[in-house]
Amino acid sequence: MRPTGRQRDFGRRAVAITETLLPVHKFDGETFGLVEGPPKTDAGNRTIPLPGWLCDDLAALLAGRAKRRGSPIAQTEYLFQTRYGNPINRDKFREKVIRPALVAAGLPETLRTYDLRHSHASLLIDLGANVLAVAQRMGHSDPSVTLREYGHLFEGAQEKLSEQLDELRQATADQRPRAKVVNLVDRR
């Protein structure tokens, strides 16, 4: 059996992204279907650490599925699937998973999945993540892609860094032995 992009390790709180599902509409006699393929770029092929609460929620989802069907869940099964075990297409995913979650969270139903991705990157930047870390998580081929897309969110970063330096100095000031202060302005 070939490796797939559906590898997850909740013990290590991570999920590996190595494939994408692309919807293919009627073409050359073929009906609608989902085609597995690689991510757009090599950088899209990545392992993403997940927060503990998300691992717990996803593990509960899979445990409920295993209980309903009476058999264990394979490591490579799709997290979100039809009742027949097939991958769920993005329109059904939006209808059955995303839209109810938006309503439950009190958010507008018009939010797109891409908007949620953008919000995730924005939260990471607001938390102080560096550009490289955000680029890796988002699967961008180069941090410059991240800067072009989210650079406006780094506004005020210099001021925030200065505040953090002030806080660091203040926190360590009481721990240092007292020394003579040298006046840098009037040194004659």
Say which residues have a Cβ less than 8 Å from residue 148's Cβ, sequence separation at least 6: none
Mean pLDDT of 125-146: 91
What does each C-alpha distance from 124 to 29, 54, 86, 88, 129 come to in angstroms? 45, 16, 32, 28, 5
pLDDT in tens, 83-133: 888 888 888 888 988 999 999 999 999 999 889 889 999 999 888 888 999
Q: CA-to-CA distance for 164 and 73, rounded, in angstroms?
A: 46
Q: CA-to-CA distance for 59 and 61, rounded, in angstroms?
A: 5
Query: Is pLDDT at 2 greater than 50 in this prediction?
Result: no
User: Which pLDDT belongs to residue 6?
Assistant: 56
**60-90: string of b/e by CB count within 10 Å (b at 16+)?**
eebeebeeeeeeebeeebeeeeeeeeebbee
User: Which pLDDT belongs to residue 4?
Assistant: 46
Q: Report CA torsion sign: 38, 41, 46, 52.
A: negative
pLDDT in tens, 15-59: 888 888 888 877 677 777 788 888 888 888 888 889 999 989 988
Specify whether the CB–CB gap between 95 and 40 falls below 8 A. Answer: no
pTM surpassing 0.85? no
